[in-house]
A and B are shown apart, each in its own frame.
Chain A
Amino acid sequence: MERILFYILALMMISFAIAAVSSRKMLRSVIYLLFVLMGVAGIFFLIDYNFLAAIQLTVYAGGIIVLIIFSVLLVHHIELKLEMAKPKRQIVTAIACLLGIGVFLKTMYSYDFKVIENHVTTTTSDIGAKLLSYDAGGFILPFEVISVLLLAAMIGAIIIAKGKKLNQQTDV
């Protein structure tokens, strides 16, 4: 049952990913990306990391997709067709990517992963305790650094998007 579910998810993710990078309509490719991200959340649910799946849905599907749609609507006319690369360049890139997939898969399948059979369920309180512990192997420092980084990114985004230059031009 879970196997079938996984293959359905995988098929959905790959086909929507290809659609997202090859669609000529901007807004549609964003929506295809949304489906890919939801497929990733489905895989997190399948391997029993509920907290990560919730984060994936809220941050990616809820936040990032909305931001990108917002910028698409601000920047584009909705009818505008995208300019694509030259066919020759597309083919060369596709061949290079297939080559890369081949190298990756060959390396992966020749390595013997020592898989441990387990059905450990990770609760949110485990993740929280590990994130805030300052023992050896605790993650309190990166946690704080990330919070400062998010604050800096937020202020930076406001200042950049405010556009000082534009105001000066309109004043003159």
Chain B
Amino acid sequence: MIEGVTIYDILTLTTILFFIGVYGFLTRKNLISILISVEMILNASVVNFVIINKYLYPDVLQGVLFSIFIIAVAAAETALAVAIIINLYRQISSVEVKDTEVMKY
């Protein structure tokens, strides 16, 4: 626990981070920017897992382990997304969402 900081403060912080990520996800027009926003959303949820573990159930470790799994999945997802973006750029010379029409093949 952090001295003098309640669980509400930290949950407020992660909520704000989450919605900033959602805002970026909806307004950006670029695949890499969307990837950045997704990372932010994932990170906010990781902090939530850890905080709830620490504040409400300090004698178990489930939240910590789940956050490790989330981080691993996020790393795998980023690697795949970057691979797709680079391949797409070589084919259509653009990473804008509106130009992305050839992913079918």
Q: Check if B24 sits within 8 Å of A74, measured CB to CB.
A: no
Nearest CB of A to B67, in Å? 6
DSSP majority for the B interface? helix
State which of B29, B37, B78 has its C-beta within 8 Å of the C-beta of A21: B37
Q: Check if A17 sits within 8 Å of B86, measured CB to CB.
A: no
Within 8 Å CB of A131, what residues of B?
65, 68
Known A75-B85, A105-B15: A93·B58 in contact at CB below 8 Å: no
Q: Check if A157 sits within 8 Å of B83, measured CB to CB.
A: yes
Contacts between the two chains (Cβ within 8 Å), count: 230
Known A122-B64, A127-B64: A146·B73 in contact at CB below 8 Å: yes
State which of A3, A17, A119 has its C-beta within 8 Å of the C-beta of B40: A17
Within 8 Å CB of A17, what residues of B?
16-17, 20-21, 40
With both beta carbons as reference points, the residue of chain B lying nearest to A101 in the complex is identified as: B19
Residues 149 to 164 of chain A near chain B (Cβ within 8 Å): 149-150, 152-154, 156-158, 160-161, 163
Residues 14 to 39 of chain B near chain A (Cβ within 8 Å): 15-24, 26-30, 32-33, 35-37, 39
Q: Check if B33 sits within 8 Å of A90, measured CB to CB.
A: no
State which of A14, A46, A47, A74 has its C-beta within 8 Å of the C-beta of B89: A74
Interface size class of B (residues with CB under 8 A): 35 or more
Q: How many residues of A contact B (CB 8 A)?
A: 88
Within 8 Å CB of A154, what residues of B?
76, 79
Within 8 Å CB of A149, what residues of B?
72-73, 76
Q: Check if B27 sits within 8 Å of A6, measured CB to CB.
A: no
Judged by a CB distance under 8 angstroms, whether A134 is at the interface is no
19 residue pairs of the A-B complex, CB under 8 angstroms, read A2-B4, A3-B5, A10-B13, A17-B20, A20-B24, A20-B40, A21-B27, A36-B43, A44-B50, A52-B50, A82-B28, A90-B27, A104-B18, A109-B8, A115-B56, A118-B1, A127-B61, A154-B79, A157-B79
Given contact pairs A89-B27, A97-B22, a sample of 17 additional A-B residue pairs in the complex whose CB atoms are under 8 Å apart:
A17-B20, A37-B39, A63-B75, A68-B35, A71-B32, A85-B27, A93-B26, A113-B7, A115-B6, A116-B56, A118-B1, A122-B64, A127-B64, A127-B65, A150-B76, A156-B80, A166-B90
Interface residues of B (CB under 8 A from A): 1-13, 15-24, 26-30, 32-33, 35-37, 39-40, 43, 46-47, 50-51, 54-59, 61-62, 64-65, 67-69, 71-80, 82-87, 89-91, 95-96, 105
